[in-house]
């Protein structure tokens, strides 16, 4: 695909056909994604290609309470887990195709980051959780989705399992000093939405200061 078309049409895909995705295709996707940038070119990523039905079921069971807490906050009109905090609202049971059908999703990837290889520049922030360390790992995750899209696949990145990292660590063999940063689902999409809705540039870009004159196209 043309790069610009790929960038503008890679939306979240949560519905997949029964078509399998061969290991060599998954390897090719990761082979492209490994060229993603990272701080100091440390390439801190590790990937578990999860095939075991038992491990997948365990992942889903750990993510489900997080999902229900998320839905409870949403129903209450709040942003779930803002600043990493629970809102205290009652959880709400709701369908989630990724969790309900995790056994049949063609590809399930768990992505970890080696924290010894990441410079977390805002690690001393006292007024908010650190976030900038993600600059060394999430370009790799996004490159997985782009590489999959270029091969006619679709996918979505979730972070629900990270909320239950302590319990997920032994299930996935998470190495010491690593963070569980993403779960990525891939497959042949039942529908590829290519007309994505996004805010215009002038709504988020300004000149000189964040409160400056909007940058017009």
3-state secondary structure 117-171: HCCCCCCCCCCCCCCHHHHHCHHHHHHHHHHHHHCCCEEEEECHHHHHHHHHHHH
Range in 12-21, 167-176, 187-196 the model is least confident about: 187-196
In whole angstroms, what is the distance from residue 33 CA to residue 140 CA? 6
Q: Please provide residue 74's backbone torsions phi and psi, each rounded to the nearest 5 degrees.
A: -60, -45
Average pLDDT on 55-74 reads: 98
Contact 108, 48 (CB under 8 A): no
Sheet of 154-158, strand order: 45-49, 107-114, 178-187, 154-158
Helices (H), the chain: 3-9, 23-33, 53-75, 97-100, 138-150, 165-172
pLDDT at 6 over 80: yes
pLDDT at 194 over 80: no
Judged by phi (left if over 0) then psi (alpha if -120 to 50, else beta), residue 117 lies in alpha
Percent of the chain with pLDDT over 90: 94
The model's confidence at residue 195, banded by pLDDT at 50, 70 and 90, is confident
Helical packing angle, 23-33 and 138-150, nearest 10°: 130
pTM of the model: 0.94
pLDDT at 198 over 80: yes
């Amino acid at each position: 695909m043309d790069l610009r078309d790929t960038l503008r049409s890679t939306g979240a895909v949560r519905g997949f056909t029964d078509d399998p995705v061969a290991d060599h295709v998954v390897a090719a996707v990761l082979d492209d994604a490994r060229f993603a940038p990272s701080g100091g070119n440390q390439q801190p990523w590790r990937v578990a290609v999860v095939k075991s039905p038992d491990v997948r079921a365990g992942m889903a069971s750990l993510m489900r309470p997080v999902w229900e807490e998320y839905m409870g906050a949403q129903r209450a009109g709040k942003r779930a887990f803002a600043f990493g905090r629970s809102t205290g609202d009652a959880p709400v049971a709701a369908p989630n195709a990724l969790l309900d059908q995790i056994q049949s999703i063609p590809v399930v990837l768990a992505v970890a980051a080696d924290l010894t290889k990441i410079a977390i520049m805002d690690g001393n922030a006292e007024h908010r959780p650190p976030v900038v360390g993600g600059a060394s790992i999430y370009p790799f995750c996004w490159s997985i989705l782009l590489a999959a899209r270029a091969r006619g696949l679709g996918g979505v990145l979730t972070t629900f399992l990270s909320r239950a990292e302590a319990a997920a660590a032994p299930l996935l063999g998470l190495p010491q000093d690593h963070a569980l940063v993403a779960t990525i689902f891939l497959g042949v999409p039942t529908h590829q939405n290519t007309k994505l809705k996004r805010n215009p540039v002038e709504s988020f870009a300004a000149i000189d200061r964040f409160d400056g004159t909007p940058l017009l196209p």
